[in-house]
Structure 1
Amino acid sequence: MRFIPDRLRNGRRRRSPLLVGFVAAASSLLLLAVGAPGASAVTLGPVSLPGDEAPHRDASMEWWYFTGHLQGKDIFGKSHEYGFEMTMIRMDALGTEPVTAIWNGHLAISDITHQAFKQDEATYALLPDVVPAGGGFNNTVGLYHMDGKNGVNHLSGGFADLSYAGINLTLRQTQPAALHGNAGVIPYGPFGQSGYYSQTNLKASGTLLDHGVPVNVTGTAWQDHQWGDFTAGPGGWEWFSIQLDDNTQYMLYFIHNANNQLVETVGTRVNANGTTTNLAPGTISSTPLGSWTSPHTGITYQQKWSINVPGGSLTITPRLADQELYNPLVPQGSYWEGTSTVTGTINGANITGKAYAELTPSITLPTRGSVWQGILDALNL
């Protein structure tokens, strides 16, 4: 559910200092890049773990994405509450050995206690794939690191200005991963098809350094892993990860075409015992109840939603209005990703919980070779 930032995709439109620095570091591989993207297309079949936790060689785009809700006390006994997102995006792998790709790291902290939001989506690197023996992932981009296998994951990193630093989390999933759609393959609207599974009930523990003060935290997190040899789009989506207090989770995905028409609806309910149920598209819907206009990019996003699911309805309310990830140099490709509360009624019972919502208004996913071509275009090669 992540995106290709326009600063790489649209090399002809605008050159940011970030892009110029990146392409200088990548120049030694540009000649390889011209011929590299001719590898075979990704074969999407039944997802098999832990093998499919690893990078997929010929994916045009792939992401490992963690969000979560944390609470804890600092060394002075003061209580804190946070939401977090850490994402690694892998784009346009070169068909060489070792397989090398363009990587982009995102980090965001929603500080609920202080009603503050900190974000960074501008960290890039050209890196070889790291594939642990037997599967799993081990990704590092700049100051951000994530690794995982068989339901045990570790995240570490922090912002360079040390506002929220020393993030060190262990996330454990005790139930099987949820394979969405047809054994882990979903229809992806204008983007084609996608491999997709989630760990929907990760138990989190660790530490976070909040402006120099250590905070011991626990909580609940979610991991998405998605990949494909995507068609170009463009399109967009609204996506929700819903974690209810009765130990039920929902993944809801509303995918739009370039005209903002809903073209695919994908939903999964993860039952309390870990089994999954695919939700028929006609049984789930999302209605926005408000909006918010970003002072950073001028984009207007939905805010607060009424969600219909089989047996009832839920209201999802953001805990902060401003949870937009963006690059001030290139606002295209911005998106809203926010921690939220859940209230509602299902099968006659009142229900509460937590959620993350992602709003990607308009994006074009990369086809194989397109990101490298954008770099070549930016260099006028």
Structure 2
Amino acid sequence: MKTDDKGKGYYGRYRRRGSSRRKGWRAYVPPLLAVVVVLAVGLYFVQMSDREPARAPSLASADAPGKPIERTAALPPLNLPADDAPHASGMEWWYYNGILDAKTGNRYAFHVAVFVANGLVKHTVMHVALTDLQTGRRFSGQSRTGGLPSKSTASGFDFRQDGWQVAADGSAHVVQAEFEGVSLALKLNDAGPVVAHKAADSATPGLLDFGKSGISYYYSRPRMAAQGEIQVAGRQIPVSGDVWFDHQWGDFDVLSFGWNWFALHLADGSDVMLYDLFDSDGHKVLTSGTVSTAAKGAVPLKAGEIELTPIGRWTSPDTKINYVVEWKVKLPSGTYDIKPFVENSEFDAHQTTANIYWEGPVKVTGSFEGQGFMELSGYDRLSTAPGRK
């Protein structure tokens, strides 16, 4: 809806009272539309929560007739680069995070995510945050729209929304956004192998079975080489660094569990992805992950090979949500302490996805040093933080 800054047209001071009433009514339209969109997405999640999530049919094992095998085997296998593109699943997201270095020695952390929910309406959301690691100052932005604002590509995606762009053609990606007076513009390329996550005893790479919550496709490009620039305080700053990329989709219920998620680059060259799912009461549901090395490739971790111990918590002064932001992690490769660069890395997404989560860069010390990102989701639906039970 357009307006006239000089007070003419429908909003002119020379209009009669009837026009003034129409002006007052129209002023409520944008927020009402926002509420409708958020409610539509919320209704989608409620529908997913109230029904049994989609399940793959059981198959009989050829080696042991009559014995059911994993549900993921009934689904089409991961197929890249075709699966880089959007799917018709209930939920899907493309996600980037990284710590960027400037030639001055300054460092900046960012994350960008595109979410697509297929419910009563198709709904696309973009989230972005940039943290100045020198000052601890954090900038964030979010955008939403109905439909799918992506150009059709043979082997990728091209989301363009409110002047932002998140695009990929094979292993070449572009991320651009302006928000809160800062900007981010990166070109990324991946020369390494894609990591297709799976359970340790699974024969279907790229697929994870969350039990009654559904099944998800999931792969990563752990170390995309990024070059570009950011703008902070009116200064253009060339930056570079390793960026983690995730793509996940499926008919799974995101309200039936929360998670602690870690994406870590270690000094020995290995890349570690860990996820720790918990239910609405804070009880552990599933812990798994993947360690990727040049020598062995992607090796899935068993639940017994991962020990996550909460060490320190932080309570948001804005939302009063209590997050576990410091962890001790024990893996077959060693023991690691994980701490945030900036404790206040909460992202309030009520405007777009009606939830709140913690997303920020972390430091790794212990058997090997390193850095990475941590995501804490679902804490806004809990009265007790995970790790207390």
TM range (shorter): 0.7 to 0.9
One-letter code aligned to 1:358: E
Give the TM-score of the pair, scaled to structure 2: 0.76
Q: 1:21 aligns with which of 33, 40, 52?
A: 33
Q: 2:299 aligns with which of 277, 280, 284?
A: 277
1:52 maps to 83
Distance 1:126 1:328, change over 3 A: closer
1:258 maps to 280
**8 Å CA contact retained: 1:189, 1:256:** no
**8 Å CA contact retained: 2:125, 2:353:** no
What is the CA-CA distance between 1:334 and the residue it aligns to?
A: 0.4
Secondary structure in 1 matching 2:92: strand
Secondary structure in 2 matching 1:288: strand
**8 Å CA contact retained: 1:84, 1:109:** yes
Q: Does 1:140 align with 2:160?
A: yes
Secondary structure in 2 matching 1:124: strand
Report the Cα distance in structure 1 between the residues aligned to 2:215 and 2:165, rounded to whole angstroms: 28
**8 Å CA contact retained: 2:144, 2:352:** no
Secondary structure in 2 matching 1:56: coil
**8 Å CA contact retained: 1:324, 1:335:** yes
Secondary structure in 1 matching 2:106: strand
Per mean C-alpha deviation after superposition, the further-off stretch among 294-303 and 128-137 is: 128-137
Q: 2:125 aligns with which of 101, 104, 120?
A: 104
Q: 2:94 aligns with which of 64, 74, 89?
A: 64
Report the Cα distance in structure 2 between the residues aligned to 1:228 and 1:18, rounded to whole angstroms: 31
**8 Å CA contact retained: 1:296, 1:328:** no
Q: Does 1:343 align with 2:369?
A: no
One-letter code aligned to 2:157: F
Report the Cα distance in structure 1 between the residues aligned to 2:315 and 2:185, rounded to whole angstroms: 33
Q: 2:114 aligns with which of 88, 93, 97?
A: 88
Q: Does 1:358 align with 2:375?
A: yes
One-letter code aligned to 1:70: L
Give CA-to-partner distance per residue, 1:208-256, whole Å, 9 cap, x none.
1112100000111101111111236422000000111221101100011
Give CA-to-partner distance per residue, 1:51-84, whole Å, 9 cap, x none.
1111112x111000100010114xxxx4421110
Q: 1:149 aligns with which of 164, 169, 179?
A: 169
Secondary structure in 1 matching 2:342: coil
Q: Does 1:334 align with 2:365?
A: no
**8 Å CA contact retained: 2:228, 2:238:** yes
Q: 2:215 aligns with which of 193, 200, 205?
A: 193
Distance 1:60 1:207, change over 3 A: same
Cα RMSD for the two superposed structures: 3.0
What is the CA-CA distance between 1:274 and the residue it aligns to?
A: 7.2
Q: Does 1:268 align with 2:290?
A: yes
Secondary structure in 2 matching 1:21: helix
Report the Cα distance in structure 1 between the residues aligned to 2:206 and 2:32, rounded to whole angstroms: 38
Q: 1:172 aligns with which of 164, 173, 189?
A: 189
One-letter code aligned to 1:280: K
What is the CA-CA distance between 1:150 and the residue it aligns to?
A: 2.2
Gap regions ≥5 residues in structure 2: 1-27, 49-53, 57-74, 199-203, 382-389
Report the Cα distance in structure 1 between the residues aligned to 2:148 and 2:115, rounded to whole angstroms: 13
What is the CA-CA distance between 1:311 and the residue it aligns to?
A: 3.0
Percent of aligned pairs sharing the same letter: 29
One-letter code aligned to 2:191: T
Report the Cα distance in structure 2 between the residues aligned to 1:340 and 1:243, rounded to whole angstroms: 10
1:203 maps to 225
One-letter code aligned to 1:119: S
Report the Cα distance in structure 1 between the residues aligned to 2:218 and 2:252, rounded to whole angstroms: 13
One-letter code aligned to 2:260: E
What are the equivalent positions in structure 2 for 1:311-326 lying under 5 Å apart? 311-326=333-348
What is the CA-CA distance between 1:157 and the residue it aligns to?
A: 1.0
**8 Å CA contact retained: 2:323, 2:379:** no
Gap regions ≥5 residues in structure 1: 1-15, 95-99, 346-350, 365-381
**8 Å CA contact retained: 2:215, 2:250:** yes
**8 Å CA contact retained: 1:86, 1:106:** yes
Report the Cα distance in structure 2 between the residues aligned to 1:149 and 1:173, rounded to whole angstroms: 11
One-letter code aligned to 1:86: V
Distance 1:289 1:48, change over 3 A: same
Q: 2:138 aligns with which of 117, 129, 135?
A: 117
Report the Cα distance in structure 1 between the residues aligned to 2:195 and 2:216, rounded to whole angstroms: 14
Report the Cα distance in structure 1 between the residues aligned to 2:371 and 2:135, rounded to whole angstroms: 19
Distance 1:25 1:344, change over 3 A: closer
**8 Å CA contact retained: 1:316, 1:355:** no
Report the Cα distance in structure 1 between the residues aligned to 2:187 and 2:306, rounded to whole angstroms: 33
Report the Cα distance in structure 2 between the residues aligned to 1:18 and 1:277, rounded to whole angstroms: 49
What is the CA-CA distance between 1:322 and the residue it aligns to?
A: 0.3
Distance 1:141 1:131, change over 3 A: closer
One-letter code aligned to 1:344: G
